[in-house]
Amino acid sequence: MIKKIALVTGANKGLGFETSRQLARQGILVLMGARNAERGEAAVRTLRDEGLSAESVLLDVTKTDQIRRAVDYVAEKYGRLDILVNNAGMAHPEETLIGSSVETVSPAVLRATFDVNFFGLVEITQAFLPLIRRSDAGRIVNVASILGSLTLHSQEGGISPFMPFAYDSSKTAVNAFTVHLSAALKKTPIKVNSAHPGWVRTDMGGNEAPMTAEEGTKTAVRLATLGPDGPTGRFFHSEKELQW
């Protein structure tokens, strides 16, 4: 019998790699999506050296042809997909974490950020949804960010100093997608949730971040492996529900 099959995007490094590792440690076959074939294969070798089940899938979330080939590959080889972790994301180098860029951010930066963080995520999910419907208990995890919370941004203090507009608004859009998709699938066994990993030491998070990659994956891994009574259409960090 084929074990559970998961696809993690942006899986060759950082949170995507560690999410793949933690899922594989639960006996799940992980398809590691990477936009660079060599880096993807290197990541797979690392997990296989640890005795874990993983495969590399060439997958740039902004390229429709690669998405279609990935869907065809999974359909032909496995016939279904049980878990989709939409991890791939970016913070544009022209935006800084502190302060607001809303008055100055360029259309080019907005488009580049949304292409990866939102449009690619939506296209990937829509493309794989027919295969997820074939799972007995499909799980979709959208890696968002607390910086996408409109409620928390509108309050004094807290996250209000951190307002890179392109990044934050792209994650707000991801949360909107979670809400809409979970509502559309409410009569199915599929669960759709958003995950805030926390401030994690990765290329994006920087060396000053307080959390390790393993700590940062706990939310996504939990949501990817929810039981039948688990939540859907919600936004979490660890087991704490966050405000949209």
- List of E strands, the chain: 5-8, 29-34, 54-58, 83-86, 99-100, 139-143, 162-163, 191-195, 235-237, 240-241
Query: How does residue 205 score in pLDDT terms, banded at 50, 70 and 90?
Result: low
Cβ neighbours for 170, distance < 8 A, ≥ 6 positions apart: 113, 114, 117, 118, 148
> How many angstroms separate the CA atoms of 231 and 172, rounded?
20
The answer to whether 12 touches 43, Cβ cutoff 8 Å, is: yes
DSSP state of 147: G
Domain ranges of the chain: 5-92+117-149+168-241
> How many angstroms separate the CA atoms of 103 and 106, rounded?
9
Best CA proximity match to 61, nearest among 14, 3, 128, 110: 128
User: Can you read off the two tokens belonging to residue 60?
Assistant: 């740039």
The answer to whether 215 touches 202, Cβ cutoff 8 Å, is: no
Best CA proximity match to 43, nearest among 63, 72, 14, 69: 14
> How many angstroms separate the CA atoms of 46 and 52, rounded?
9
Mean pLDDT over all residues of the chain?
92
**Backbone dihedral angles phi then psi of residue 55, each to the nearest 5 degrees:** -135, 150
User: Can you read off the two tokens belonging to residue 26?
Assistant: 């639960």
Catalytic residue numbers read 167, 171
Per CATH, is 5-92+117-149+168-241 categorized as 3.30.565.10?
no
pLDDT (tens digit per residue) in 172-189: 999 999 999 999 999 999
Amino acid 64: pLDDT: 98
User: Can you read off the two tokens belonging to residue 124?
Assistant: 């990937």
pLDDT (tens digit per residue) in 46-62: 999 999 999 999 999 99
Amino acid 201: pLDDT: 56
Amino acid 209: pLDDT: 57
Amino acid 190: pLDDT: 98
Assess whether pLDDT exceeds 80 at residue 137.
yes
Query: How does residue 155 score in pLDDT terms, banded at 50, 70 and 90?
Result: confident
Question: For the residues 58-76, what does the mean pLDDT come to?
Answer: 98
